[in-house]
Structure 1
C-alpha cells in the first residue's frame, strides 16, 4: 500500500469507530477483509488510527472537524506534512482538499493544544487534580505508551533477561521505576513469540504497575489476596517478589481470570483461584486493584477517554468505595489493605482513602506515579487499621 492508501484506510476506520465500533474490532475486521495489506501496512494504519484517537481533540481543531478525513488532515498538520502530497485522488488516495478544508488547515492553531486531547468536561477536574503538572501530563498522554516487561526474578536477573531478549532481536533497557522493569525500545512485536516470554522469564507489565506492586508489605508465609485480580498481573508480580507467600486470586467475573492458570504455569507461580462471592478471609494482605476510569492508561486505550462521562465516573467511584469496604472485611486484624487504580483522578484515589478513613483505616503509604516518569498514570496506597477500627 502507498502512504496515501494507508491514510485513506485510516479515514474509513476512524469513521467506523466514531459510529460505535470498538477500535480493536474495527482494525481486526479491516485486516480480515483486506488481506492484500502486509504487516507493515497494518502497523502503519494502526498507528494512524491510535494517534488520531489519542489526539482527537487537537487533530480536530487542526484539521477542521471530527470525521476521519479531518482527523487525518489534523495529524498531517501536527506532523508538518503537506497534505497535497497525499490527498491527490489518484489510485486509492483520498480526494484533494476542498477550499473549506484548506482554509481550516491553514487557520491559526489554537493555544494550549495539548489540553484539547482531554474530554472538555474533564479538563477543569484534571487541572485541579494535577496542578502544576497538568500541562506536562497532558502533553505526555498524547504520545504512544512505551512497552514494558517485568523480569521474573524467580527465573533470572534483569541483566540475564536483557541478554536473552537481545538474542531474539528484542532490545530493552532497565527503567528506574522498578528493579524488575525493562523498557522495550526495539522488537516489541516479537515479545510474545520469544523464548524469554514463553519460558516465563519476562511478562508484559507497565513499569508503574510494577513499582506499585513493589510497595506491598510482603513476608514469607503471608496469605495474600488479589481481590480484583482480572488477568492476574499483580498476583503474578507478588508471586515473583515473595515466592514463599500463599497467593489467592478472586474476581467478580471469573472469565477475566481465564488466562491466569496458563500465565502462572509459565511463570512457575502457585496461585489459588477463589470463586466469585467466596473470597475467603483473614488475609495478611488484601490488594484491591479497583475498576476505574483507566485515565492513567489512556495512551494505550485512547477511545475510552472519549466514552467516559460524568455519570459513568460517578458510578465507578461508588463501586470503588463499595469494593474497598468489602475487601477491608477480609483483612486479618494486623494485616494490610492495599488500594490501587490506573487513574490520575483524585476522586478515584485520595477521595476513596478519605472515605475509608472514617471506618478506622489509616494510610501507611500513598504514592502517585505520573506518566511523566515514563509509565502509566497510577495510584497505590497501603492502609492499616487504626485503634478502634470498625
Structure 2
C-alpha cells in the first residue's frame, strides 16, 4: 500500500468508528477484508486511526470537519505535511481536496478542544488535576509507551534486558517500578521472543506494577485479586515470595488464559468463581482494581473517552461503591482492601474513599497515592483501607 492508500483506509475506518462502531472491531474487520495489506500496512493504518482518535477534537478543528477525511486532513496539518501530497485522487488514495476543504480548518480552542477531551469532562479534569490538567490531557494525545514487568521469580531486570536484546528488543529500566522495563525498539517482536514465551517478562504498565508493589505483603499472606480482569496483577502478586494468590472476576471469561500464563511464569494462582469467593476467605489483602472510566489509559483505548457519558460515569461510580461494600466481609481483622483505578478523576478516586469511610465505621485509610499520566505511565490511583 502507498502512504496515500493507508490514509484512505484510515479514513474509511474512522467513518465507521464515528458512526458508533468499536475501533478494534472496525480495524479487525478491515484487516480481514484487506488480504492485500501486509503487516506494515496494517500497523500503519492502525496508527493513523488511533492517533486520530486520541486527537479527535483538535484534528477536527484543524481539518475543518469531524469526519474521517477531516480528521486525517487535520492529522497531516498537525504533522506539518502538505495535505495535497496525500489527497491526490490517484490510485487508492483519498480524492483530491475541494476548495472548501483547502480553506477550512482553524487552530483548536484552548481547554477541552485543545486537550482533546469532551466538554463535559474538562471541568472534572480541572477539579482533579488543577494546574496539571492541560499537561495530562496533552499526554493522553500521544501513544502510550510499552512497559514490561520482569518476573522476579525467574529473572532480574538486567538478565531480562539481555535476553530481550538477543531477540532484537531494546529496553531500559523504568523508574515507575523496580521490575519495570520500557521497550525502546522492537515492540512488535515481543510475543515471539524467547524472554516472553518462557515467562521472564509480561506486558504490564509500570504504574499498574507499582500498585502491586505498594501493597504491604509478607510471606504466608492470602491475597485475593477480586477484579482480576486478564490477571496481570494476579501474576505480579504471585511473583512475590510466599504469597498465596487467588483471582476472581465478575466476567470469568476474562480469566480464560490465566492458567496458561501462570504456568509460563512458573506462578501459582487459584481462580475462584463467585460462589467460591466467600467460602475461601478471609483474606489478608483484597485488591479491587475496579471498573472505571479508564481515563488514565485513554491513550491506549482512545475511543473510550468519546464513548463515556455522564450517565455511564455515574453507573461506574455506583459499581465501584458496591464492590467496596461487597468485599468488606472477605477481609480478615487487620486486613486491607486495596482500592485501585486507572482513572484520573477524583470522583472515582479520593471521593470514593471518603464516601466509604463515611458510611463504614471500623476502617481507616493507611495509604493513598496517584500515579500521574505525565510521569510516563498510565494514570493510576490506589488507596489502602485497613480493617480495625
The TM-score, its normalising length taken from structure 2, stands at 0.97
State the Cα deviation string for residues 26-76 of structure 1 (Å, max 9, x = none). 111111111111111111111000000000011011111111000000101
* Structure 2 equivalent of residue 52 of structure 1: 52
Counterpart-to-counterpart distance in 1, 2:296 and 2:154 = 30
1:126 Cα deviation after fit: 0.8
5 Å matches for 1:36-75?
A: 36-75=36-75
- Structure 1 stretches of 5 or more lacking a match? none
State the Cα deviation string for residues 85-139 of structure 1 (Å, max 9, x = none). 111111112111112111113x455345764411111011111111011111111
Cα pair distance change 1:356/1:111, threshold 3 Å: closer
Work out whether residues 59 and 75 of structure 2, in 8 Å CA contact, stay in contact via their aligned partners in 1.
yes
Work out whether residues 114 and 138 of structure 1, in 8 Å CA contact, stay in contact via their aligned partners in 2.
no
* Structure 2 equivalent of residue 285 of structure 1: 285
* Structure 2 equivalent of residue 223 of structure 1: 222
* Structure 2 equivalent of residue 196 of structure 1: 195
| The one of 380, 383, 387 aligned to 1:381 | 383
Work out whether residues 12 and 68 of structure 2, in 8 Å CA contact, stay in contact via their aligned partners in 1.
yes
1:259 Cα deviation after fit: 1.1
Question: What SS class does the counterpart of residue 293 from structure 1 fall into?
Answer: coil
4+ residue runs over 6 A deviation:
none
- Structure 2 stretches of 5 or more lacking a match? none
State the Cα deviation string for residues 267-304 of structure 1 (Å, max 9, x = none). 11111111124313211111111011111000000001
Range moving further from structure 2, 370-379 or 245-254 = 245-254
The TM-score, its normalising length taken from structure 1, stands at 0.96
* Structure 2 equivalent of residue 179 of structure 1: 178
Matched, 1:362 2:364: yes
Counterpart-to-counterpart distance in 2, 1:24 and 1:311 = 24
Counterpart-to-counterpart distance in 1, 2:311 and 2:208 = 27
Question: What SS class does the counterpart of residue 142 from structure 1 fall into?
Answer: coil
* Structure 2 equivalent of residue 21 of structure 1: 21
Superposed CA RMSD in Å reads 1.2
* Structure 1 equivalent of residue 274 of structure 2: 276
Counterpart-to-counterpart distance in 1, 2:247 and 2:150 = 21
* Structure 2 equivalent of residue 247 of structure 1: 245
Work out whether residues 364 and 384 of structure 1, in 8 Å CA contact, stay in contact via their aligned partners in 2.
yes
5 Å matches for 1:79-228?
A: 79-105=79-105, 107-112=106-111, 115-228=114-227
Question: What SS class does the counterpart of residue 173 from structure 1 fall into?
Answer: strand
Question: What SS class does the counterpart of residue 346 from structure 1 fall into?
Answer: coil
Matched, 1:334 2:344: no
Work out whether residues 238 and 245 of structure 2, in 8 Å CA contact, stay in contact via their aligned partners in 1.
yes
* Structure 1 equivalent of residue 261 of structure 2: 263
* Structure 2 equivalent of residue 323 of structure 1: 323
